[in-house]
Amino acid sequence: MASDRIFGLVVTIVALAYVASATQIPLSLLSDPVGSRSFPYLIGGVMALCGVVVMLRPDPDPEWPALGTLGALLVTVIMLVAYAYALRPFGFLIPTAIASGVLSYQISQRVLPAVATGLGLSLGLFALFKYGLHLGLVAFPKGWF
């Protein structure tokens, strides 16, 4: 219950800071009936209300996952951050194959299916994004070919 109350307090404080920062939005010359500050006020108000509700009506204490599960989540986060940084220098195919292979291995600890999943997703997503959606993806680093 304490974790929910702390989370609700943090959400409420962030919402109030968001609303306070929305007061700094300059009014535009072409005003609409709602105004440029109304939407941020609405979002901040709903966020603050949700934070207060979480503080007043917390759930029972959660059962945190085992240490191994937290380790797997940490590996996943590190892999996704590394994937984001690797896309530009290494192109799309290699980082996508490695990241999807590692994440597939975490789901089912079998090497061959994880490698096949990594390669299949890499090639399939590249074809979909490049030729189906006409995105400007680079398959490999420019100096390789």
Summarize pLDDT for 8-27 with one digit per residue, the tens. Answer: 999 999 999 999 998 887 77
- The pLDDT tens digits for 52-78 are 999 999 888 778 788 888 898 999 999
pLDDT digits (tens, 9 = 90+) for 76-87: 999 999 999 999
Check: pTM over 0.75? Answer yes or no. Answer: no
| Final residue in a domain of this structure, among 10, 30, 56 | 56
**Residue at token pair 């189906």:** 132
Q: Which domain holds residue 74?
A: 67-132
In percent, the amount of the chain with pLDDT more than 90 equals 54
Please work out, in degrees rounded to the nearest 5, the angle formed at the alpha carbon of residue 74 by the alpha carbons of 68 and 78.
Answer: 145
Q: Is 17 helix (H, G, I), strand (E, B) or coil?
A: helix
| Helix 111-127, helix 93-107: angle, nearest 10 | 140
Instruction: Identify whether residues 126 and 74 lie together within a single domain.
Output: yes
* Among 56, 76, 99, residue at a domain's last position: 56
Q: Residue 139: inside a domain, yes or no? A: no
Return all residues near 141 (Cβ < 8 A) that are at least 6 apart: 89, 90, 91
What would the pLDDT profile of 30-51 be if each residue is shown by its tens digit?
666 666 778 888 999 999 999 9
**Phi-psi bin for 26: left (phi > 0), alpha (psi -120 to 50), beta?**
beta
